[in-house]
Structure 1
Amino acid sequence: MLTGVLWTLTLASLAWLTFLVGIIGVFVAASGEPVGGLLMGWIGCVAGGAAVLTAVAFLPPVRRMATPHRMLLLGALACPVPLVVTIVTWFRMG
């Protein structure tokens, strides 16, 4: 149950941030400015986070864990950063 909540919060916050970056990219492109740096930075951050989670998931002590415990650990590692950034952007924008 807690694993599902953590992963739902993580994926929902990543969806919000991706939507926000997309909207900013549309407005920047509409003003005639290049958007590549913004999008590449976002893709780099998401790919870096995925790489870190993958590296942690393949550590021998973590691989020996039962699958529910492993998913709970990875969810607990993945959740805080995007959730905090989402909350900050939500309140600063609205």
Structure 2
Amino acid sequence: MNPGTYARLYGPTRPAPRSGHRGLLVVAGVLWALALASLAWIALLVGLAALWGTAQGTDAGTFVLRYVAIVAGGAALLGALVFAPGVRRLSWASRLLLTGVVACPVVTGSALWSWTYIG
């Protein structure tokens, strides 16, 4: 559409207002960074345990499949939470914060438990 025609019909163009969710995004980013780092630590431990088990001659496939199933189930639960009817009305920043608050303690607690169990 011609900008002049648009201005005559609807008035001057106005840029979209910036959202005030910067603080929510920062907190959600920190929570998700901590959760993903903890998940990477657990994945490293699972990989090393599978490698160790394979070196000893045991079948490590079921061990790794169990881990993959747990991670996929957790991701499915978080996806269901994000698209739940009551949560869909929230902004994306609030949804990221909510899922970060749910996911971070579980994964980080498991990583800390594994850290103290190994050490």
Match in the other structure for 1:70: 95
Query: Displacement of 1:17 after TM fit?
Result: 0.2
- Corresponding residue SS for 1:60: coil
Match in the other structure for 1:39: 64
Greater RCO structure (CA 8 Å; 6+ sep):
1
Query: Displacement of 1:91 after TM fit?
Result: 1.4
Query: Displacement of 1:2 after TM fit?
Result: 1.1
Query: Displacement of 1:61 after TM fit?
Result: 1.4
Q: CA RMSD in A?
A: 0.7
Question: Which of the pair is proportionally richer in helix?
Answer: 1
Give unmatched runs, 5+ long, in structure 1.
none
- Give aligned-pair identity as a percent: 43
Match in the other structure for 1:59: 84
Structure-2 separation of matches of 1:70 and 1:61: 11
TM-score, with structure 2 as normaliser: 0.77
| 1:22-37 equivalent positions in 2, closer than 5 A | 22-37=47-62
2:105 paired residue among 80, 85, 91: 80
Residues 24-50 of structure 1, C-alpha deviations (whole Å, 9 max, x = no match)? 000000111001110111001000000
Give unmatched runs, 5+ long, in structure 2.
1-25
Query: Displacement of 1:51 after TM fit?
Result: 0.5
Structure possessing the higher radius of gyration over alpha carbons: 2
Structure-1 separation of matches of 2:99 and 2:110: 18
1:50 paired residue among 52, 56, 75: 75
Match in the other structure for 1:8: 33
